[in-house]
Structures are given as C-alpha cells and as structure tokens.
Amino acid sequence: MYDEPRTHNDLPREELMARAQAALDQFARQGTPAHVNFKFTCERCGTRCTLSDPNTLYEEGECFQCGHTTKIEKGGFALTANLASRHIKP
Ligand SMILES: [Zn+2]
C-alpha cells in the first residue's frame, strides 16, 4: 500500500490552466495587469518549485534544490497582480 502524501492541493494540468486563465480573465476585465507563475512539487525531494516564466506551464520542471527533472502532471499557481497600475476610468 502506498499512501500518496497530501502536502499540497495540486490540480491536474487541465484544471490548473483553466483556473489560472479564469483568474487572469477576472483581472483583465478590471484592467489590472496580472500574471501567474505555475508551481510544481519535485518528485524526488518534495521541494515546492515555481516556474519563472509567467503564464507558462511547462511539461517538465527542474528542481532548484536537487536538479531533478519532474514531469509536471499536476501543480498549483501563484497570481501576481499589479494593483498600482490599475487603469482609472475617465
Ligand atoms: Zn528536488
């Protein structure tokens, strides 16, 4: 028996991308610049890694701790919104 560790609320790629897109759309409607950085968990050492390219979910990611390449089948994301440059309506 192998119990999968429940350390993060990771989502499958498809749902992850859909949720990220929905979040971005919401900010876009408000005229607020925003981007997401996808996250994954290293399958070897369990380190939580963030992909540095905004709005890009790669097939694989390299762990910054141990250098192991993980096939990203699920993950999370962090959203960054620039509220300071929010467009002001005339
Ligand atoms: Zn690692």
- How does pLDDT run across 24-69, given as a tens digit for each residue? 999 999 999 999 999 999 999 999 999 999 999 999 999 999 999 9
- Report pLDDT for 90: 56
In the reported structure, the alpha carbon of residue 62 is separated from the centroid of ligand 1 by a whole-number distance in angstroms of 8
Distance 44 CA to ligand 1 centre (A): 5
Taking the C-alpha atoms of residue 1 and residue 54, their distance in angstroms, rounded to an integer, is 38
Ligand 1 centroid – CA 26 distance (Å)? 33
The runs of H, that is alpha helices, within 1-90 are 13-29
What are the b/e assignments for 21-44, b being 16+ CB within 10 Å? eeebeebeeeebebbbbbbbbbee
Per-residue tokens: 72: 């990203």
pLDDT digits (tens, 9 = 90+) for 67-90: 999 999 999 999 999 877 655 555
The single-letter DSSP state of residue 84 is: G
Question: Alpha-carbon distance 58 to 13, whole Å?
Answer: 10
